[in-house]
Amino acid sequence: MTCETMGNRQRKGSGIPEPIVLELPSSSEYLLLARLVVSCAGQLAEFEPEDVYDLKLAVTEAATNVIRHTTVGSFQVEYKVLPGTVEITVVDRGGGFDVGKLTEEPGEHGGFGLAVIRSLVDEVVLNSSTEGTRLKMIRRATLPDSPPEI
């Protein structure tokens, strides 16, 4: 289904009732699929092009972290399009890690990808356990600049 087809089925900016879930092999060749879907999600939420670009970078970073730091065969990316908001959740079933060891500043233990993600979205929720890791990213649409009042 193309972005245009999705837009025809649902009025732009009103969100879509069900989440879109991709199960992707843990390989960088599939990152483009995650980026294409988030691009459509941003368009449906009536995001400005700069906001869509930021979402594409954030989902690329999150998926790349799974590919680099876990040994799973696949992982899920879930997209929710709400009015003026896009939520993206990346879930892997790897062994998890100690979130407490990550600080706000990247350092010798990594955290560069997470720092980039935090700079691109409005809210990040990170949960990790021995069953896996769940990273939820929320981005709200930037309101277009209004013309100056005369």
Tens of pLDDT, residues 78-123: 999 998 999 999 999 988 887 877 655 555 555 688 889 999 999 9
pLDDT 10s digits, 29-63: 999 999 999 999 999 999 999 999 999 999 999 99
Q: In this predicted model, which residue has the larger pLDDT, 13 or 130?
A: 130
In sequence order, the 6+-apart residues with CB closer than 8 A to the CB of 114 are 61, 65, 102, 106, 124, 126
pTM of this prediction?
0.83
Using the 8-state DSSP alphabet, how is residue 140 labeled? E
What is d(CA 77, CA 115) in angstroms, rounded to the nearest whole number?
Answer: 19
pLDDT of residue 9: 46
Question: By the 8 A CB rule, do 39 and 54 touch?
Answer: no
Query: What domains, with CATH codes, occur in the chain?
Result: 3-140 (3.30.565.10)
Residue 148: is its pLDDT beyond 60?
Answer: no
pLDDT of residue 47: 94
